[in-house]
Amino acid sequence: MAPSTTSALTLNINGEKHTLSVDHRTTLLDALRERLDLTGTKKGCDQGQCGACTVLIDGRRAVSCLQLAVAAEGREITTIEGVADGDRLHPVQQAFLDLDGFQCGYCTPGQICSAIAMIEEHAAGWPSAATEDVRPEAGVPELTAEEIRERMSGNLCRCGAYVSIVQAVAEAARAEEEAV
Amino acid sequence: MRLVDVRELPLDGIESTADGGLRIGATVTNSDLAAHPEVRRRYPALAQAVLAGASGQLRNMATVGGNLLQRTRCGYFTDLSKPCNKRAPGTGCSAVEGEHHNHAILGATEHCVAIHPSDMAVALAAFDAVVTYESADGTGQLPLAAFYLPVGDTPHLETALPAGALITGVILPPAPVAAHSRYRKVRERASYAFAIGSITGALDVRDGVVREVRLAFGPSRPGRGGTGGRAGPDRGARRTPRRSPPPRSAELAAARPLPHNAYKVTLLRNLVVALLTELTEEAAR
Ligand SMILES: Cc1cc2nc3c(=O)[nH]c(=O)nc-3n(C[C@H](O)[C@H](O)[C@H](O)COP(=O)(O)OP(=O)(O)OC[C@H]3O[C@@H](n4cnc5c(N)ncnc54)[C@H](O)[C@@H]3O)c2cc1C
Ligand code: SF4
Ligand code: FES
Ligand code: FES
């Protein structure tokens, strides 16, 4: 019997179930873009170096180009298409619009997905490489521009829109903190 | 043949051991490791080292076992038009005469000068971590110092892990000195880049006397050719009770740089002084 090279699987994306059959080697990124027509998630480098393909897996940010589709079965996947609440934009999306957090927009879906999870990581008390004292007794570091730059460093922007991206992320984090 | 996702295995716990150390499961993500309160309290340099690696997205995906086993290689390894002893044993090393400004100055041999890029492993080396594994023959343990094989003339052989073994976790022995530890990493951009030089330092000062100093350097070649068997990411001064830092590091004295990476010897020396100064100032506060 010839070895099987494909798998049938069901992916849970933005609250909807999608059943498809894929080559075992298919990345989640290619499954999203090429098979499910969810082209909001972008391919920049296809090797983990740019962050354009960032999605949320079980609420955590991950690069979909280094994730096999077969290993994403059973997880809750959220792409840029699923972050808004109907017609109401996610606060991070709104902040990117209000503060011009982009130029060409290619890196933007990844930046937004990444920022959504990053704000939660910070709220959960995670330190970063920019945190002077990582000991828990030191408390949660303030989300300064330096902290935002470090925490968002996995998302490159070829247009160099970093100044407004940092402002947009800071604004969204502030808005979410107020909402709590 | 079957494709298995080992991340699904129930090896994702971090717990204290009876003697006051920590046991870290192999599938613990880098993010969870760096966020864990006991890691941050007892081994802060480990949390810092992990946070200095890759990006938020990648740390969410990367596991302890996978980080230890990331392939030691350089750009020529994937360039099929160039010789590479690691990819094709006996063909030669393109980096020695070629592009090597980011290659290893410690533990390299003329057969291969690639580095092991793990930041985490540099902190684990300073804290005498032990890797635990399971194979068809049962369970086993390897101190990190014996985990990576010396390069010698067999760079294609990287670890002492038996074939087919699964890493189950890492044990950190108790180390009070580790509570006063830091990790510093120098790279070619501010973040999201591999180290060109890094260091883990720990310093125990009591009543104005240095009781213990620990240093480990990275990124290094796992396995030290030439100067004896201690495997890297290199561990420098071990438990050297001395009155005044900085200790003389036998590892740095044994560095064998190539023309384009000789700058790293100075870089690492400067890092030793900077880090020990920071730790000394912290101890004085
Ligand atoms: C753009 C980019 C930048 C990066 N920057 C850094 C950096 O600055 N510093 C740094 O340290 N790292 C860096 N990394 C490397 C990253 O940390 C590693 O890719 C990651 O740690 C690998 O972990 P993983 O769990 O994904 O392993 P995998 O890639 O899934 O596995 C690696 C190998 O280990 C094997 N394996 C995995 N788990 C086990 C186990 N439990 N037992 C036995 N075998 C196992 C796998 O089969 C495979 O052969 C970077 C990576 C990328 C893509
Ligand atoms: S340094 Fe190692 S991996 Fe790079 S070309 Fe030489 S043998 Fe190959
Ligand atoms: S496309 Fe995935 S990180 Fe660049
Ligand atoms: S807006 Fe163009 S790449 Fe970021």
**Is B202 inside any structural domain?**
yes
CB contact under 8 A, A135 and B44: yes
How far is Cα B110 from Cα B104, in angstroms, rounded to an integer?
A: 11
Give A150→chain B minimum CA distance, Å: 7
Q: What is the pLDDT of residue B123?
A: 96
Measured distance CA(B224)–CA(B215) in Å, rounded? 16
* CATH code of the domain containing B190: 3.30.390.50
CA–CA gap between residue B171 and residue B211 (Å, rounded): 24
Domain spanning A91-179, CATH class: mainly alpha
Instruction: Examine residue B29 and state whether it is found in any structural domain, yes or no.
Output: no
The residue whose CA is least distant from atom 3 of ligand 3 is: A48
Question: Is position B228 within any domain?
Answer: yes
Q: What is residue A54's predicted lDDT score, i.e. its pLDDT?
A: 99
Alpha carbon distance A84, A90 (integer Å): 5
Order the strands of the B209-218 sheet from edge to edge.
B181-187, B195-206, B209-218
Please state which of the four CATH numbers 3.90.1580.10, 3.10.20.30, 3.40.50.620, 3.40.50.11540 is assigned to the domain occupying A6-82. 3.10.20.30
Residue A1's pLDDT is what? 67
pLDDT of A52 higher than 50: yes
pLDDT band at A28 (very low <50, low <70, confident <90, very high): very high
Number of domains in chain B: 1
**Across the interface, do B41 and A71 touch by the CB < 8 Å criterion?**
no
Token pair recorded at residue A82: 């699923």
For residues B194 and B219, is the Cβ–Cβ distance under 8 A? yes
CA nearest ligand 2 atom 4, residue: B74
Distance from CA of A108 to the nearest CA of B (A): 15
Predicted pLDDT of residue B36: 98
Mean pLDDT by 10 residues, chain B (285 residues): 88 97 98 98 98 98 97 95 97 97 92 94 95 97 94 95 97 97 96 96 92 90 34 38 51 87 94 95 88
Q: For residues B142 and B160, is the Cβ–Cβ distance under 8 A?
A: yes
- Identify the pLDDT of residue B238: 40
Phi and psi dihedrals of A165, rounded to 5? -65, -45
Determine whether the interchain pair B57/A125 forms a contact, defined as Cβ–Cβ distance below 8 Å: no
Domain locations in chain A as residue ranges: 6-82, 91-179
- As a whole number of angstroms, the distance between CA A95 and CA A113 comes to 13
For residue range A116-173, what is the model confidence (pLDDT) as tens digits? 999 999 999 999 999 999 999 999 999 999 999 999 999 999 999 999 999 999 999 9
* Distance between CA atoms of residues A155 and A112, nearest Å: 10
Between CA B192 and CA B8 the distance in angstroms is 27
| Model pLDDT, residue A2 | 75
Q: Using the CB atoms, write b or e for A111-134: b if 16+ within 10 Å.
A: bbbbbbbbbbbbeeebbbbbbeeb
Classify residue B19: in a domain, yes or no.
no
Q: What integer pLDDT is reported at residue A180 of this predicted model? A: 73
* Domain-located, residue B280: yes
Say yes or no: B52 contacts chain A, CB-CB below 8 A.
yes
DSSP string, B12-41: --EEE-TTS-EEEETT-BHHHHHH-HHHHH
Question: Are the beta carbons of A150 and B31 separated by less than 8 Å?
Answer: no
How far apart are the C-alpha atoms of A24 and A9, rounded to whole Å? Answer: 10
pLDDT at B241: 39
Interchain CB contact of B192 with A (< 8 Å): yes
pTM of the model: 0.94
pLDDT value of position B221: 59
DSSP state of B169: E
Percent with pLDDT over 70 in chain A: 99
**Is B134 within the bounds of a domain?**
no
Query: Are A118 and A150 contacting, i.e. CB atoms less than 8 angstroms apart?
Result: no
The residue behind tokens 């059943």 is A19
Domain residues for the domain of B222 are 177-284
